[in-house]
Amino acid sequence: MLRGLLSGVAGRWRQRRLLVPSTDKGEAKIAVSRVAHSYRDVEALKNVTLNIHHGEFVCLLGPSGCGKTTLLYALAGQVSPTFGNITIDGEPVKGPSPDRLLMFQEAALFPWLTVRQNLHFALRSKERSKRRREDLVRKYIRRVQLEGFEDALPHQLSAGMRMRVSLARALTMNPAVLLMDEPFAALDAQTRGQMHQLLQRVWLETRKTVVFVTHDVREALVLGDRVVVMAMRPGHILTDLEVRLPRPRDPDDEKLVLMSRQIREMLRRAGAAERPGPEEVEERDGQGEGPPVARSVPTRAPRPVGARF
């Protein structure tokens, strides 16, 4: 019994060490300072302050409607917040720019272009030399393991492959910051797992600064250096945790499962304290989970504002 108690304490202690409140590490690449945003009378974000450092993989985690997507769109410049400042590399964010590239829940490929043409089209505004463009395209097609599909049209590919094309397209643009809005939410569990492995590998190779929005606790823990947990009404940051697990991470890792339980518990408490209502954070317990249920409410993208064509 004593042993049980001891191991329980040790486990807790270890756990706490694996998931620590994140500390400020010097100069921020992305600085979000006291940002608030309202859609008419709905307060989507309130007093959000967040610093993201160069080369960090940050997951914004929270239930649907907690403002995480709004925050991401504000970083992308698709939404201009009603209050507060966002700077990237010291420059205030004004309108969308390929330097902080936004990836959506869908692959959003141009259906009339082949895989190769999709990559080239995006790159043309950035890279003038055709030779260099071709090299880049080849390199990233290899990186997302799509060799042999260069001349396929998007509708001939599976959803997972389309997402890989989208990822390759984003990477060829070599943005300073990559912003991802639940990019794998629409995929089946198996493909999603593969995408996690792929993204981890690509990230280890490129060390991009990534902000990744998700409502799936385990996805956040598998991918993120930091997990910023958000709660709703109005959207605010509940806690900002650092994940200290070696990569590549396995979603079924015991420690990771434990951590995810801890975070879910935290979210449940926050949810219960604020409102009676359905718990919307995806619950995925233990190993033996059933087929993925599309539990995510189809995310309503915030209305983009700013420059029109």
Partner 1 sequence: MAASLVRMIADGRLPAAIARSLGRLAQGYFLSVALGVPLGLLIAQLPRFRQVVRPLVMGLQALPSITWLPLAILWFGLSDAAIVFVVVMGSLLAIAIASEGAVQQMNPLLSMQARALGVEGFRYYSGVLLPGAFPGIVTGLKLGWSFAWRALMAGELLFVSGGLGQLLHVGRELLDLSQVMAVMLGIIAVGVAVDRLLFETLELRVRRRWGLLAPS
**Encoded amino acid at 175, one letter:** P
Closer Cβ to partner 1, 97 or 145, answer by number: 97
Q: Name the one range near partner 1 by CB under 8 A: 116-124, 136-144, 197-205, 240-248.
A: 116-124
CB 113 to partner 1: min, Å: 8
Q: How many chain residues bind partner 1 (CB under 8 A)?
A: 29
Q: Which of 19, 122, 141, 238 binds partner 1 (CB under 8 A)?
A: 122
Task: Give the residue, chosen from 98, 160, 193, 234, that forms a contact with partner 1 under the rule CB under 8 A.
Answer: 98
| Residues in 173-192 at the binding interface with partner 1, rule: CB under 8 A | 173
Which of 104/201 has CB closer to partner 1? 104
Q: Given the rule CB under 8 A, which of 37-45, 54-62, 117-125, 217-225 is the region that contacts partner 1?
A: 117-125
Q: Does position 94 bind partner 1 by CB under 8 A? A: no
Binding residues vs partner 1 (CB under 8 A): 76, 78, 96-98, 101-102, 104, 106, 108, 110-112, 121-122, 124-126, 153-156, 169, 173, 301, 304, 307-309
